[in-house]
Amino acid sequence: HPLDLLAGLSSATEVEAARLAVAQRVSAALASSSDATEALAALRAEMEQEIDDRSLEASALSGLFECEDRRDRFQRVTRVWTARIARYIRSGELDHAADLLSVIQDEERFPEENADLVRKSLERLTTPELLRSLAADQGSDDASAARRLLSGLGRQVIDELVIQLAGEEDKAVRRQLTELLAIAAASRPSAIEPYLKDQRWYAVRNLVTALGRTGNPNAARSVRLVVGHTDHRVRIEALRSLVTLQRAEAAPVVVKALSDDDERVRQAAVALLNGQSLLDVDHQLVAELRDDLLAMDAALGVIAILGARGMPEGKAALEELAGRRFALRGRTRALRAAARRALAEEP
Protein backbone atom coordinates (compact mmCIF):
# COMPACT_ATOMS: atom_id res chain seq x y z
CA HIS A 1 0.00 0.00 0.00
CA PRO A 2 1.33 3.51 -0.74
CA LEU A 3 1.19 4.46 2.93
CA ASP A 4 3.33 1.48 3.87
CA LEU A 5 5.96 2.51 1.33
CA LEU A 6 5.79 6.10 2.48
CA ALA A 7 6.34 5.12 6.08
CA GLY A 8 9.29 3.00 5.03
CA LEU A 9 10.96 6.00 3.46
CA SER A 10 10.76 7.92 6.71
CA SER A 11 11.96 5.43 9.32
CA ALA A 12 14.72 2.82 9.31
CA THR A 13 12.83 0.83 11.97
CA GLU A 14 9.74 0.68 9.80
CA VAL A 15 11.84 -0.32 6.81
CA GLU A 16 13.16 -3.32 8.72
CA ALA A 17 9.68 -4.19 9.95
CA ALA A 18 8.37 -4.06 6.39
CA ARG A 19 11.16 -6.34 5.22
CA LEU A 20 10.31 -8.89 7.91
CA ALA A 21 6.64 -8.75 7.00
CA VAL A 22 7.42 -9.36 3.35
CA ALA A 23 9.75 -12.23 4.25
CA GLN A 24 7.05 -13.88 6.33
CA ARG A 25 4.54 -13.55 3.50
CA VAL A 26 6.97 -15.05 1.02
CA SER A 27 7.84 -17.86 3.44
CA ALA A 28 4.16 -18.69 3.97
CA ALA A 29 3.49 -18.68 0.24
CA LEU A 30 6.40 -21.01 -0.44
CA ALA A 31 5.43 -23.34 2.38
CA SER A 32 1.96 -23.83 0.88
CA SER A 33 3.42 -24.78 -2.48
CA SER A 34 4.01 -28.44 -3.29
CA ASP A 35 7.11 -27.71 -5.34
CA ALA A 36 8.95 -24.60 -4.29
CA THR A 37 12.42 -25.56 -5.51
CA GLU A 38 12.49 -23.24 -8.50
CA ALA A 39 10.89 -20.38 -6.59
CA LEU A 40 13.37 -20.75 -3.75
CA ALA A 41 16.29 -20.74 -6.18
CA ALA A 42 15.00 -17.58 -7.86
CA LEU A 43 14.43 -15.91 -4.50
CA ARG A 44 17.89 -16.87 -3.29
CA ALA A 45 19.48 -15.41 -6.44
CA GLU A 46 17.52 -12.22 -6.01
CA MET A 47 18.45 -11.89 -2.35
CA GLU A 48 22.13 -12.29 -3.15
CA GLN A 49 22.05 -9.36 -5.56
CA GLU A 50 23.44 -6.09 -4.26
CA ILE A 51 20.67 -3.61 -3.51
CA ASP A 52 20.99 -0.11 -4.96
CA ASP A 53 19.36 2.02 -2.27
CA ARG A 54 19.26 5.11 -4.46
CA SER A 55 17.57 3.31 -7.32
CA LEU A 56 15.13 1.68 -4.94
CA GLU A 57 14.31 5.03 -3.41
CA ALA A 58 13.65 6.59 -6.82
CA SER A 59 11.51 3.64 -7.91
CA ALA A 60 9.46 3.76 -4.72
CA LEU A 61 8.77 7.47 -5.05
CA SER A 62 7.95 7.10 -8.72
CA GLY A 63 5.44 4.39 -7.86
CA LEU A 64 3.88 6.53 -5.17
CA PHE A 65 3.42 9.44 -7.54
CA GLU A 66 1.76 7.20 -10.09
CA CYS A 67 -0.59 5.29 -7.80
CA GLU A 68 -1.58 7.82 -5.13
CA ASP A 69 -4.70 9.68 -6.22
CA ARG A 70 -5.85 11.03 -2.86
CA ARG A 71 -4.88 14.71 -2.81
CA ASP A 72 -3.89 14.90 0.86
CA ARG A 73 -1.77 11.74 0.58
CA PHE A 74 -0.26 12.95 -2.69
CA GLN A 75 0.79 16.16 -0.95
CA ARG A 76 2.54 14.11 1.69
CA VAL A 77 4.43 12.23 -1.01
CA THR A 78 5.62 15.48 -2.56
CA ARG A 79 6.91 16.65 0.82
CA VAL A 80 8.86 13.46 1.34
CA TRP A 81 10.23 13.78 -2.19
CA THR A 82 11.52 17.34 -1.81
CA ALA A 83 12.77 16.66 1.72
CA ARG A 84 14.97 13.87 0.39
CA ILE A 85 16.28 16.10 -2.41
CA ALA A 86 17.04 18.89 0.06
CA ARG A 87 18.93 16.46 2.28
CA TYR A 88 21.12 15.39 -0.64
CA ILE A 89 21.80 19.02 -1.59
CA ARG A 90 22.89 19.87 1.95
CA SER A 91 25.19 16.85 2.10
CA GLY A 92 26.72 17.68 -1.29
CA GLU A 93 25.30 14.59 -3.03
CA LEU A 94 24.08 16.57 -6.00
CA ASP A 95 23.99 13.64 -8.41
CA HIS A 96 21.53 11.84 -6.16
CA ALA A 97 19.51 15.02 -5.73
CA ALA A 98 19.32 15.53 -9.50
CA ASP A 99 18.35 11.90 -10.09
CA LEU A 100 15.59 12.09 -7.53
CA LEU A 101 14.34 15.41 -8.93
CA SER A 102 13.97 13.84 -12.37
CA VAL A 103 11.72 11.11 -11.00
CA ILE A 104 8.53 13.02 -11.75
CA GLN A 105 9.60 15.73 -14.17
CA ASP A 106 7.19 14.15 -16.62
CA GLU A 107 3.77 15.34 -15.46
CA GLU A 108 2.17 12.22 -16.93
CA ARG A 109 3.34 10.40 -13.80
CA PHE A 110 0.61 12.04 -11.75
CA PRO A 111 -2.88 13.50 -12.25
CA GLU A 112 -2.89 16.96 -13.78
CA GLU A 113 -5.02 18.27 -10.93
CA ASN A 114 -2.08 17.64 -8.60
CA ALA A 115 0.44 19.63 -10.66
CA ASP A 116 -0.02 22.63 -8.36
CA LEU A 117 1.07 20.53 -5.37
CA VAL A 118 4.23 19.53 -7.19
CA ARG A 119 5.05 23.14 -8.08
CA LYS A 120 4.44 24.29 -4.52
CA SER A 121 6.63 21.51 -3.21
CA LEU A 122 9.45 22.49 -5.57
CA GLU A 123 9.44 25.97 -4.05
CA ARG A 124 10.94 24.40 -0.93
CA LEU A 125 14.06 23.70 -2.97
CA THR A 126 14.61 27.36 -3.88
CA THR A 127 15.35 28.68 -0.40
CA PRO A 128 18.41 30.93 0.04
CA GLU A 129 20.13 28.24 2.08
CA LEU A 130 19.79 25.52 -0.56
CA LEU A 131 20.70 27.82 -3.44
CA ARG A 132 23.82 28.89 -1.58
CA SER A 133 24.74 25.22 -1.21
CA LEU A 134 24.40 24.83 -4.96
CA ALA A 135 26.41 27.98 -5.59
CA ALA A 136 29.24 26.69 -3.42
CA ASP A 137 29.45 23.53 -5.55
CA GLN A 138 29.77 25.32 -8.89
CA GLY A 139 33.53 24.88 -9.04
CA SER A 140 33.47 21.24 -7.98
CA ASP A 141 33.04 17.95 -9.78
CA ASP A 142 29.31 18.24 -9.05
CA ALA A 143 28.88 21.27 -11.32
CA SER A 144 27.07 19.23 -13.98
CA ALA A 145 24.68 17.86 -11.36
CA ALA A 146 24.01 21.40 -10.15
CA ARG A 147 23.08 22.32 -13.71
CA ARG A 148 20.67 19.39 -13.90
CA LEU A 149 19.05 20.50 -10.67
CA LEU A 150 18.62 24.08 -11.79
CA SER A 151 17.19 23.06 -15.13
CA GLY A 152 14.70 20.80 -13.40
CA LEU A 153 13.52 23.41 -10.90
CA GLY A 154 12.12 25.60 -13.65
CA ARG A 155 10.84 29.17 -13.53
CA GLN A 156 10.54 29.50 -9.75
CA VAL A 157 14.29 29.12 -9.23
CA ILE A 158 14.92 32.00 -11.66
CA ASP A 159 12.65 34.29 -9.66
CA GLU A 160 14.35 33.39 -6.39
CA LEU A 161 17.87 33.78 -7.81
CA VAL A 162 17.03 37.23 -9.19
CA ILE A 163 15.81 38.33 -5.77
CA GLN A 164 18.87 36.98 -3.99
CA LEU A 165 21.30 38.41 -6.54
CA ALA A 166 19.84 41.91 -6.21
CA GLY A 167 20.31 41.90 -2.43
CA GLU A 168 23.67 40.12 -2.17
CA GLU A 169 26.57 42.31 -1.04
CA ASP A 170 29.36 39.73 -1.02
CA LYS A 171 31.14 39.88 -4.38
CA ALA A 172 32.15 36.21 -4.43
CA VAL A 173 28.65 35.00 -3.59
CA ARG A 174 27.20 37.41 -6.14
CA ARG A 175 29.44 35.90 -8.80
CA GLN A 176 28.26 32.40 -7.86
CA LEU A 177 24.62 33.41 -7.95
CA THR A 178 25.13 35.00 -11.36
CA GLU A 179 26.52 31.73 -12.68
CA LEU A 180 23.56 29.83 -11.23
CA LEU A 181 21.13 32.26 -12.81
CA ALA A 182 22.85 31.87 -16.18
CA ILE A 183 22.41 28.10 -15.97
CA ALA A 184 18.81 28.31 -14.81
CA ALA A 185 17.86 30.82 -17.51
CA ALA A 186 19.74 29.15 -20.37
CA SER A 187 16.61 27.48 -21.73
CA ARG A 188 14.26 30.35 -20.87
CA PRO A 189 16.16 33.68 -21.01
CA SER A 190 12.96 35.67 -21.53
CA ALA A 191 12.01 34.85 -17.93
CA ILE A 192 14.52 37.51 -16.85
CA GLU A 193 13.01 40.29 -18.98
CA PRO A 194 10.46 41.56 -16.41
CA TYR A 195 13.30 42.20 -13.97
CA LEU A 196 15.25 44.35 -16.45
CA LYS A 197 12.93 47.22 -15.52
CA ASP A 198 14.44 47.36 -12.02
CA GLN A 199 15.45 50.92 -11.10
CA ARG A 200 18.70 49.73 -9.51
CA TRP A 201 21.40 49.87 -12.18
CA TYR A 202 23.58 47.25 -10.49
CA ALA A 203 20.68 44.79 -10.36
CA VAL A 204 20.09 45.20 -14.09
CA ARG A 205 23.80 44.93 -14.88
CA ASN A 206 24.05 41.63 -13.01
CA LEU A 207 21.08 40.27 -14.92
CA VAL A 208 22.64 41.29 -18.24
CA THR A 209 25.85 39.53 -17.20
CA ALA A 210 23.86 36.38 -16.48
CA LEU A 211 22.11 36.60 -19.85
CA GLY A 212 25.45 36.88 -21.58
CA ARG A 213 26.65 33.72 -19.88
CA THR A 214 23.64 31.58 -20.78
CA GLY A 215 25.27 30.58 -24.06
CA ASN A 216 21.88 30.90 -25.71
CA PRO A 217 21.85 33.29 -28.71
CA ASN A 218 18.15 33.89 -28.07
CA ALA A 219 19.15 35.72 -24.89
CA ALA A 220 20.40 38.57 -27.11
CA ARG A 221 16.81 39.66 -27.59
CA SER A 222 16.54 40.34 -23.87
CA VAL A 223 19.93 42.06 -23.74
CA ARG A 224 18.98 44.43 -26.55
CA LEU A 225 16.20 45.78 -24.36
CA VAL A 226 18.78 47.63 -22.25
CA VAL A 227 21.40 48.79 -24.78
CA GLY A 228 19.98 52.28 -24.29
CA HIS A 229 19.81 52.11 -20.50
CA THR A 230 20.31 55.38 -18.64
CA ASP A 231 23.34 54.08 -16.73
CA HIS A 232 26.58 53.70 -18.69
CA ARG A 233 27.60 50.60 -16.71
CA VAL A 234 24.54 48.74 -17.90
CA ARG A 235 25.15 49.83 -21.50
CA ILE A 236 28.73 48.59 -21.35
CA GLU A 237 27.69 45.21 -19.97
CA ALA A 238 25.00 44.94 -22.63
CA LEU A 239 27.62 45.44 -25.36
CA ARG A 240 29.84 42.75 -23.87
CA SER A 241 26.99 40.28 -23.56
CA LEU A 242 25.80 40.91 -27.11
CA VAL A 243 29.25 40.25 -28.53
CA THR A 244 29.50 37.06 -26.47
CA LEU A 245 26.10 35.84 -27.62
CA GLN A 246 26.01 36.99 -31.24
CA ARG A 247 29.53 37.81 -32.39
CA ALA A 248 29.20 39.28 -35.93
CA GLU A 249 25.50 40.05 -35.53
CA ALA A 250 26.33 42.33 -32.62
CA ALA A 251 28.67 44.51 -34.71
CA PRO A 252 26.09 47.17 -35.74
CA VAL A 253 25.13 47.77 -32.11
CA VAL A 254 28.76 48.02 -31.01
CA VAL A 255 29.62 50.39 -33.87
CA LYS A 256 26.65 52.56 -32.96
CA ALA A 257 27.99 52.73 -29.40
CA LEU A 258 31.02 54.60 -30.74
CA SER A 259 28.71 57.63 -30.78
CA ASP A 260 27.56 57.20 -27.20
CA ASP A 261 27.51 60.34 -25.04
CA ASP A 262 29.66 58.66 -22.39
CA GLU A 263 33.36 58.25 -23.15
CA ARG A 264 33.51 55.05 -21.09
CA VAL A 265 30.93 53.41 -23.32
CA ARG A 266 32.79 54.57 -26.43
CA GLN A 267 36.04 53.13 -25.12
CA ALA A 268 34.32 49.85 -24.29
CA ALA A 269 33.00 49.70 -27.85
CA VAL A 270 36.49 50.36 -29.24
CA ALA A 271 37.93 47.61 -27.05
CA LEU A 272 35.28 45.12 -28.17
CA LEU A 273 35.77 45.94 -31.84
CA ASN A 274 39.52 45.67 -31.43
CA GLY A 275 39.44 42.43 -29.50
CA GLN A 276 36.91 40.47 -31.54
CA SER A 277 37.23 39.05 -35.03
CA LEU A 278 33.96 40.54 -36.17
CA LEU A 279 33.32 40.00 -39.86
CA ASP A 280 32.20 42.76 -42.24
CA VAL A 281 32.79 45.48 -39.68
CA ASP A 282 35.30 47.45 -41.77
CA HIS A 283 32.64 48.98 -43.99
CA GLN A 284 30.74 50.26 -40.96
CA LEU A 285 33.87 51.67 -39.33
CA VAL A 286 34.98 53.40 -42.52
CA ALA A 287 31.54 54.98 -42.87
CA GLU A 288 31.72 56.30 -39.29
CA LEU A 289 35.19 57.69 -39.90
CA ARG A 290 34.25 59.45 -43.12
CA ASP A 291 31.15 61.00 -41.57
CA ASP A 292 33.55 62.68 -39.15
CA LEU A 293 30.95 62.88 -36.39
CA LEU A 294 32.66 60.69 -33.81
CA ALA A 295 34.23 62.12 -30.70
CA MET A 296 38.01 62.36 -30.95
CA ASP A 297 38.66 59.39 -28.64
CA ALA A 298 36.32 57.16 -30.65
CA ALA A 299 37.72 58.32 -34.00
CA LEU A 300 41.28 57.57 -32.88
CA GLY A 301 40.11 54.16 -31.71
CA VAL A 302 38.54 53.41 -35.08
CA ILE A 303 41.75 54.38 -36.87
CA ALA A 304 43.74 52.04 -34.66
CA ILE A 305 41.28 49.20 -35.28
CA LEU A 306 41.35 49.64 -39.06
CA GLY A 307 45.13 49.68 -39.02
CA ALA A 308 45.32 46.53 -36.92
CA ARG A 309 42.81 44.67 -39.09
CA GLY A 310 44.68 45.51 -42.30
CA MET A 311 41.69 44.88 -44.54
CA PRO A 312 41.66 46.50 -48.04
CA GLU A 313 38.71 48.83 -47.41
CA GLY A 314 40.07 50.03 -44.09
CA LYS A 315 43.57 50.48 -45.48
CA ALA A 316 42.24 52.59 -48.36
CA ALA A 317 40.38 54.85 -45.93
CA LEU A 318 43.49 55.31 -43.81
CA GLU A 319 45.60 56.12 -46.86
CA GLU A 320 43.04 58.70 -47.90
CA LEU A 321 43.12 60.30 -44.49
CA ALA A 322 46.92 60.14 -44.19
CA GLY A 323 47.35 61.71 -47.61
CA ARG A 324 45.47 64.91 -46.87
CA ARG A 325 47.77 67.82 -47.63
CA PHE A 326 45.85 70.62 -46.04
CA ALA A 327 44.79 70.16 -42.44
CA LEU A 328 43.86 73.47 -40.92
CA ARG A 329 41.89 72.07 -38.00
CA GLY A 330 43.64 70.56 -35.05
CA ARG A 331 41.27 67.59 -35.16
CA THR A 332 42.09 66.86 -38.79
CA ARG A 333 45.82 67.04 -38.12
CA ALA A 334 45.49 64.67 -35.18
CA LEU A 335 43.49 62.16 -37.21
CA ARG A 336 45.92 62.38 -40.11
CA ALA A 337 48.84 61.71 -37.81
CA ALA A 338 47.01 58.76 -36.27
CA ALA A 339 46.27 57.33 -39.73
CA ARG A 340 49.93 57.56 -40.70
CA ARG A 341 51.00 55.78 -37.51
CA ALA A 342 48.41 53.06 -38.10
CA LEU A 343 49.68 52.49 -41.63
CA ALA A 344 53.28 52.40 -40.45
CA GLU A 345 52.41 49.78 -37.83
CA GLU A 346 50.25 47.73 -40.19
CA PRO A 347 51.02 44.01 -39.79
What pLDDT, in 10s, does the model give residues 30-68?
Answer: 667 656 677 767 767 776 666 667 777 887 788 788 787
The 8-class DSSP code of residue 139 comes to T
Q: Which residues contact 254 (CB under 8 A, 6 or more apart)?
A: 239, 242, 243, 269, 272, 273, 278
Q: Give the separation between CA 11 and CA 19, rounded to whole angstroms.
A: 12
Q: Which residues contact 207 (CB under 8 A, 6 or more apart)?
A: 162, 165, 181, 192, 195, 196, 198
Query: What are the residue ranges spanned by the domains of the chain?
Result: 1-27+53-124, 126-135+147-250, 280-347
What pLDDT, in 10s, does the model give residues 225-259?
Answer: 999 999 999 999 999 999 999 988 899 999 999 99
In the predicted structure, residue 173 carries a pLDDT above the cut 60 = yes
What pLDDT, in 10s, does the model give residues 15-29?
Answer: 677 677 777 777 777
Per-residue confidence (pLDDT) for residue 47, from 0 to 100:
67
Q: Give the separation between CA 234 and CA 252, rounded to whole angstroms.
A: 18
Q: Which CATH superfamily does the domain covering 126-135+147-250 fall into?
A: Leucine-rich Repeat Variant (1.25.10.10)
In the predicted structure, residue 6 carries a pLDDT above the cut 60 = no
CB atoms closer than 10 angstroms to residue 105: 11
Q: Which of 53-62, 175-184, 194-203, 281-290 has the largest mean confidence? A: 194-203
Q: Strand, coil or helix: what is 104?
A: helix
Percent of the chain with pLDDT over 70: 83
Rounded average pLDDT over 111-116: 79
CB atoms closer than 10 angstroms to residue 147: 19
